[in-house]
Amino acid sequence: MVCVDPKDIPVLSIIDPEMMASMPPGLTAATGMDALTHAIEGYITKGAWVLTDMFELKGIELVAKHLATAVFEPNNLEAREGMGIAQYIAGMGFSNVGLGILHSMAHCLGAVYDTPHGVANALLLPYVMEYNATATGTKYREIARNMGVANVDCMSMEEYRQAAVAAVIALSQKIGIPQKLREIGVKEEDLPQLAQMAYCDVCTPGNPRVTSVADILKIYQQAY
């Protein structure tokens, strides 16, 4: 479960790109995709509004621009600083509007399998994006645009929704994120229990599409 308390909130947080330079590539990839997940899910959640949209869209843009470089060139301080800013402003956004079932599902993987949170988020992101697409209006067009997809204004709604998901998958694969739950040791027989747990998670009510245990189970199965 998620535990939140005012006493857990730091008075000051220092984000120093030089200190991030020693992060291993796998950790850089997972935490970077975690930031992208925060930005995308915060952008489409029920509570999103114009101010948080500005934070989340800029966060998406910065991750798309800098994450792969940070993974493959760990001492590139421009990329490290870009990612530091990206995760910070994405956090500013979602901390004010909440998240959705992607985080609900990722929390369960962490609880049951000790899956690193960034890996869980990154793996599930495309599947949940596909599920939520019909409840997001034109927002996937802006996700695709900020992910670097060209000519989005010439695309149909279906096309730019697919393009947004494809851009996320391409980045994830490029930096070595696992693509299926079975790759990280998840057991198929546990999926119904995980779906029930995720449905009861604190993040679920913020999802843009009304969901159910059966819907969440289907997403887990698609990701398996």
Cα(163)–Cα(108) distance, integer angstroms: 28
Dump the DSSP string for 156-221: -HHHHHHHHHHHHHHHHHHTT---SGGGGT--GGGHHHHHHHHHTSTTGGG-SS---HHHHHHHHH
Q: Are 214 and 178 in contact (CB under 8 A)?
A: no
C-alpha–C-alpha distance, residues 218 and 224, integer Å: 10
Domains contained in the chain, number: 1
Q: Is residue 87 part of a domain?
A: yes
- Give the range of the structural domain holding residue 93, as residue numbers without chain letter: 13-223
pTM of the model: 0.95
Q: For the chain, give the mean pLDDT.
A: 96
What digits encode the pLDDT tens for the residues 155-187? 999 999 999 999 999 999 999 999 999 999 999
CATH for 65: 1.20.1090.10
Residues 97-149: tens digit of each pLDDT = 999 999 999 999 999 999 999 999 999 999 999 999 999 999 999 999 999 99
